[in-house]
Chains A and B, each alone.
Chain A
């Protein structure tokens, strides 16, 4: 077995569940996350330079997941727009599902657009810088900041002010210590 195949086997056996969880944050659908991860793994190893380490391969796969999640979401939006209005409605979640904090988070994430969701995950899960996110998603730095700010506003509306702290803000808190008599 060649090196890349051994690395791929390790990725599939050891890192696949974590990647599915990561993809779930991007997509909001378990089935789609599984499908996305499988495609990303195969595509990553089917093309390009042979990956020689699990860490390196996982980084490639995560980038592929982020970009593919956005592409699929945008494609889904186009399909939804062209669907007739008599399409089956979404089933309402049960009460017990809504009481957990995780369910609140999932509901809040659904409010975000695909790109807002992607930059949020890349920022708060992967802890990437604005420049790194911009490079991965092929966006300008300013665009990434705008998506992050929009996402933060929407998440605050859903989860409360304490849930989202904008550490990437350039503002500095100022405290007045003396007052003029």
Chain B
């Protein structure tokens, strides 16, 4: 009997032995998972709401960058400011660095939808376990699903 068969046999024996006295606690475990799921989805929901608020009030550059438009994040930084002051030191600064990237109200609504996915993915992507490679947008949906179940 080779190693693979021996390992399978050992695991099977332990599993069968455990099955003899396995506790009937499925409902308790489901309850624990449900509570954890509510915490997890509410966390993702908060991040999604924050992302939507950022897109709604945080300025067109962020919205355009998240929507994958031609706006660039780099010009918003200090480098662009120093470049503009060296080129035109006496000119008053314009309020919007990217006038062409400022979306109209209706496009900003569509970019908010895409931005929610990106933002929540970025925040919860710090999870240390790859086995939970999630579609985080579904977490928002699951929140309503869970609340219905409860």
Contact = CB atoms under 8 A, between A and B. Distances in A.
Contacts of B33: 4-5, 8, 41-42, 45-46
A124 B8 CA distance: 9
Interface string B122-147: 00000101111111001100100110
State which size class the interface on B falls in.
Answer: 35 or more
A5 B145 CA distance: 12
A24 interface: yes
A42 B36 contact: yes
Interface stretch (B10-18, B84-92, B112-120): B10-18
B3 interface: yes
A136 B8 CA distance: 20
Interface stretch (B24-32, B45-53, B72-80): B24-32
B26 A9 contact: yes
Contact of B131 (A16, A50, A63, A105): A63
B76 to A, nearest CB: 33
Contact of A163 (B6, B11, B32): B6
Interface in A26-45: 30, 33-34, 38, 41-45
Interface of A: 1-2, 4-5, 8-9, 12-13, 16-22, 24-25, 30, 33-34, 38, 41-50, 60, 63-64, 67, 101-102, 105-106, 120-121, 124-125, 127, 135-136, 138, 155, 159, 162-165
8 contacts: A4-B37, A9-B30, A17-B19, A49-B134, A50-B138, A163-B2, A163-B3, A165-B2
